[in-house]
Amino acid sequence: MSPDYSAILAAIASEVAPLTREGKVADYIPSLAEVPLEQFGMAVVTLDGRRYSVGAADQRFSIQSISKLFALTLAFRQLGDELWERVGREPSGNPFNSLVQLEHESGKPRNPFINAGALAVTDVLCRHSVNAELAVLHFLRRLSGADDVQFDHAVASSEAQTGHRNAAMAHFMKSFGRIVSPVDELLNSYFHQCSIAMSCEELATAALFLANRGVVPATGERLLTASEAKRISAVLLTCGTYDAAGDFAYRVGLPAKSGVGGGIVAVVPGELAVCVWSPGLDANGNSLAGGMALERFTTLAGNSIF
């Protein structure tokens, strides 16, 4: 029998409400610092088309690093296994914006979900598409079925003005010969991908192909082979929540991708995709209430991958 997702989401929303006050919004991107803290939304979409939600599940927020999942999917479709020559697939054990490993590892990022790895992936997209950020935007529109998903240009330019660590990273990787595109073009594309605004309902819908062995359930379109979908899910599990990935696997037990806008997307293979949003972050840059909500979700529904 299917779990009662409506009741589970309602219980989670009331349980985590006090936690929504405790995190800290991502103030290193000035326009994200303006987002009110005490907000929470969560949506579940099943492979057979059932939808459940609670709170502000239809409110759009800055997807930030969640875009890295979709950019990776596009680049993996383009390059296949050759992609792993440009970016690794090991957890970094370091903060998402760290530069230290790059020096020791000749500019090859540990994985596609830390910022350095996403820059390497974006470099691939810049060379294979006319406009890399539009490729990601159109991909997200197609997957979510929401044609009006847009960049938030204010967020993108706010990050462009303050994104010195990402600029340093891109130049550093280029010094190792690992970036082909002009750095300005690369950063502009990356910041725009991160600025895309979507809701929990839209993001959960967009991630469903991963839960469905690479096939978009609504259209039957195959984006990845079952084996490729398994591989991307594995990298999500081990690297999708940065240096907290071990703790996430322990507490939640699902492949998941977080973003500093406060969103986290996770998939239950063969069943559903779930997205939670609450802007207050923990010290690792993952949504504090969101992480707890997912932990309660797999506990109450009894459906982690383990």
Question: 15 — phi, psi (to 5°)?
Answer: -65, -40
Minimum CB–partner distance for residue 145 and ligand DON (Å): 24
Q: Is 157 a catalytic residue?
A: no
Minimum CB–partner distance for residue 166 and ligand DON (Å): 5
Between 115 and 278, whose beta carbon lies closer to ligand DON?
115
Binding site for ligand DON (CB under 6 A): 64-65, 96-97, 115, 159, 166, 194, 258-260, 285-286
Q: Is 230 a catalytic residue?
A: no
Q: Give the separation between CA 290 and CA 181, rounded to whole angstroms.
A: 35
Q: Give the separation between CA 235 and CA 25, rounded to whole angstroms.
A: 26
Options 190, 215, 235, 265, the catalytic residue: 190
Closest-by-Cβ residue to ligand DON is 65
Tokens representing residue 190 in the block: 């990356």
Question: 159 — phi, psi (to 5°)?
Answer: -70, -35
Between 88 and 214, whose beta carbon lies closer to ligand DON?
88
Q: Is 52 a catalytic residue?
A: no
Minimum CB–partner distance for residue 286 and ligand DON (Å): 6
Options 53, 62, 65, 144, the catalytic residue: 65
Using an 8 Å Cβ cutoff, are 301 and 3 in contact? Answer: yes
Residue 136's alpha-carbon distances to 19, 113, 132, 216, in angstroms, are 32, 15, 6, 16
Using an 8 Å Cβ cutoff, are 223 and 55 in contact? Answer: no
Between 180 and 283, whose beta carbon lies closer to ligand DON?
283
| Residues belonging to the active site | 65, 68, 190, 242, 260
